[in-house]
């Protein structure tokens, strides 16, 4: 079973669990109640499960068109799957459930290659135009490295993407190019400089940046035992990085 089909099944399970517990996706979670109301906390858990599963289905859907190149007979099914994608945005859980079940049925009819298709990570939204070409070029290179199993190179490119974005964020905030005075500044120091300028990073973003930075340093510096990221580790780091980039420039 392919990654796309696996994630569809995960989404179905998350939706079925939410339905069985009568979770209403359209109602906002009351954060203040979660401190003392177990049902509200439980509600958040099931909603997050649906949201996370949906996120992975969306990411994998970007690769569906490659199935047509693999087998032209897949064209009708791929088109139907892509037409069903907007229905996954529904907050009506019954509509969502119907769409997921239909997509699983369609996916079962497709001819998937035995070997996994190439992973194609997209350029995030909201990237400023003046760095978009550089970001796109690095992501193109990153895709090549990932699909060639060069996961150490993937980690290093994640660091490069973050450097480009953080330097641009600093210029956007201060009107100054920090590379002129401090060309060797690291990611951690860049975050510190931006924090001094009242640029706020939510804790999750900061942890992701530090994680990738630490792995990158470990990958490029000489150690007694070299670090070789696994495919899953490299995949997670790329997703973290692209998430950071997308959020950094979102208004």
Per-residue pLDDT tens digits for 23-32:
888 877 666 6
* Residue 222 confidence (pLDDT): 53
Select the highest-mean-pLDDT range: 14-18, 30-34, 210-214, 218-222.
Answer: 14-18
Q: Considering the chain, tell me which residue range(s) the CATH 1.20.120 domain(s) occupy.
A: 129-248
Query: Would you say residue 170 has pLDDT above 80?
Result: yes
CATH of domain 129-248: 1.20.120
Instruction: Render the burial of 51-84: b for 16+ CB within 10 Å, e for the rest.
Output: eebbebbebbbebbeebbeeeeebeebbebbeeb
Least confident of 10-19, 150-159, 163-172, 196-205: 196-205
**Total length of the chain:** 251
Where does the pLDDT of residue 249 fall: very low under 50, low under 70, confident under 90, or very high at 90 and above?
confident
Question: Percentage of the chain surpassing pLDDT 70?
Answer: 86
Asked whether the whole model's pTM tops 0.75, one would answer no
Q: Would you say residue 113 has pLDDT above 90?
A: no
């Amino acid at each position: 079973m392919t990654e796309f089909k696996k994630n569809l099944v995960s989404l179905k399970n998350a939706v079925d669990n939410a339905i069985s517990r009568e979770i209403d996706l359209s109602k906002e979670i009351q954060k203040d109640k979660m401190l003392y109301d177990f049902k509200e906390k439980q509600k958040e858990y099931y909603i997050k499960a649906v949201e996370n599963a949906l996120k992975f289905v969306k990411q994998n859907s970007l690769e569906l068109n490659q199935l047509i190149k693999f087998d032209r007979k897949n064209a009708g099914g791929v088109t139907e799957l892509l037409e069903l994608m907007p229905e996954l945005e529904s907050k009506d859980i019954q509509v969502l459930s119907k769409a997921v079940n239909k997509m699983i049925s369609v996916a079962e009819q497709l001819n998937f290659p035995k070997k996994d298709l190439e992973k194609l990570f997209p350029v995030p939204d909201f990237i400023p135009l003046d760095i978009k070409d550089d970001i796109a070029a690095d992501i193109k290179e990153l895709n090549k490295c990932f699909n060639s199993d060069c996961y150490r190179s993937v980690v290093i490119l994640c660091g490069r993407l973050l450097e480009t974005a953080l330097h641009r964020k600093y210029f956007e905030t201060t009107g100054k190019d920090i590379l002129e005075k401090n060309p060797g500044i690291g990611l951690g120091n860049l975050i510190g400089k931006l924090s001094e300028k009242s640029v706020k990073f939510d804790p999750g973003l900061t942890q992701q940046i530090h994680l990738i930075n630490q792995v990158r340093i470990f990958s490029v510096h000489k150690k007694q035992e070299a670090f070789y990221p696994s495919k899953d580790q490299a995949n997670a780091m790329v997703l973290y990085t692209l998430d950071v980039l997308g959020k950094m420039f979102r208004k």
